[in-house]
């Protein structure tokens, strides 16, 4: 069964360090591509929150109350949230990637997490209830320092996955000790542009952790998908019927 992996960069900057490490996760995932014992191709896609306008939740709580589909997904704030949530619903596995900001995720990523209330397993909007449930999740975090708070930010991301009924995975691969929490890296130095040379390629440990995460993410997603897909069928049927046939 084919699987789709979405990477979301919560960096304030497009095309920089966070995206570099998310791409390493994709490379690892592709190593778990189609084989006889593990059938299914792997499709990947990446978006950057820096490209979208997503405003903070105002706690109007209407997403939990409105019963119908026409106001997807937030009845109060008209911004780019639907584009991102559509992408998340499209995926079987989601990699949330951030630069560490003051020892945690960026504000951009936290805003997205809060606005995902509507696709929580607790949503009263039945059609969205299945939301992100049983999707597999991985964390990618990099900062200027090797120990700059990556694990705290990863814990925030893992808590988000748990709150959404997702299945968090880390990067323990056999005897590997590169990254139990996922892809933890160093954005060398002060986030220098990838185009300025291959500074980031020097973070062999970070890259290994990301690749290990990718392999594990793909493996677990292939194991989970047959069940998760059946559960989601009803949702997808509704989604295709009711949501304009836009390109997801």
Task: Kindly state whether residue 38 participates in binding ligand FMN, applying the rule CB under 6 A.
Answer: no
Record the tokens describing residue 179, joined without a space.
Answer: 């990254």
**C-beta of 61 vs 145, nearer to ligand FMN:** 145
Read off φ and ψ for residue 96, nearest 5 degrees: -100, 120
Per the CB < 8 A criterion, the answer to whether 42 and 32 are in contact is: yes
Record the tokens describing residue 231, joined without a space.
Answer: 């559960």
Task: Kindly state whether residue 206 participates in binding ligand FMN, applying the rule CB under 6 A.
Answer: no
* Alpha-carbon dihedral 173, 176, 181, 182, rounded to 10 degrees: -60
Task: Kindly state whether residue 143 participates in binding ligand FMN, applying the rule CB under 6 A.
Answer: yes
Task: Kindly state whether residue 133 participates in binding ligand FMN, applying the rule CB under 6 A.
Answer: no
Rounded CA Rg of the chain? 18
Per the CB < 8 A criterion, the answer to whether 231 and 134 are in contact is: yes
Q: How many residues sit close enough to ligand FMN to count as binding (CB under 6 A)?
A: 20
Task: Kindly state whether residue 142 participates in binding ligand FMN, applying the rule CB under 6 A.
Answer: yes
User: Is the four-CA dihedral 21, 23, 29, 35 of positive or negative sign?
Assistant: negative
At its nearest, how many Å lie between ligand FMN and the CB of residue 5? Answer: 19
Residue of 190, 198, 246, 247 interacting with ligand FMN (CB under 6 A): 190
Mask 79-108, x = binds ligand FMN (CB under 6 A)? Answer: --------------------xxxxx-----
Residues in the chain: 248
* DSSP E strand boundaries for the chain: 3-9, 42-48, 93-99, 136-143, 167-168, 183-186
Task: Kindly state whether residue 183 participates in binding ligand FMN, applying the rule CB under 6 A.
Answer: no
Residue of 179, 187, 206, 214 interacting with ligand FMN (CB under 6 A): 187
At its nearest, how many Å lie between ligand FMN and the CB of residue 156? Answer: 13
Q: What are the residues binding ligand FMN (CB under 6 A)?
A: 11-13, 16-18, 99-103, 142-145, 148-149, 187, 190-191
């Amino acid at each position: 069964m084919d699987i789709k992996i979405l990477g979301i960069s919560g960096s304030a900057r497009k095309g920089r360090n966070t995206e570099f490490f998310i791409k390493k996760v994709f490379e690892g995932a592709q190593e778990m591509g189609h084989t006889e014992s593990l059938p299914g191709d792997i499709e990947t896609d990446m978006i950057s929150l820096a490209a979208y306008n997503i405003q903070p939740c105002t706690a109007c709580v209407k997403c939990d109350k409105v019963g119908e589909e026409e106001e997807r997904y937030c009845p109060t704030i008209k911004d780019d949230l639907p584009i991102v949530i559509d992408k998340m619903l499209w995926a079987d596995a989601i990699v949330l990637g951030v630069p560490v900001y003051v020892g945690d995720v960026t504000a951009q990523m936290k805003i997205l997490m809060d606005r995902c209330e509507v696709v929580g397993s607790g949503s009263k909007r039945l059609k969205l209830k299945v939301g992100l449930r049983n999707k597999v999740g991985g964390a990618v975090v990099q900062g200027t320092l090797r120990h700059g708070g990556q694990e705290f930010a990863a814990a925030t991301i893992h808590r988000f996955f748990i709150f959404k009924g997702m299945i968090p995975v880390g990067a323990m691969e056999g005897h590997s000790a590169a990254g139990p929490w996922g892809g933890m890296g160093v954005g060398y130095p002060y986030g220098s542009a990838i185009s300025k040379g291959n500074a980031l390629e020097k973070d062999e440990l970070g890259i290994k952790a990301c690749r290990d995460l990718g392999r594990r993410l793909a493996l677990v997603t292939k194991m989970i998908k047959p069940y998760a897909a059946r559960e989601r069928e009803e949702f997808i049927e509704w989604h295709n019927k009711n949501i304009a046939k836009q390109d997801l």
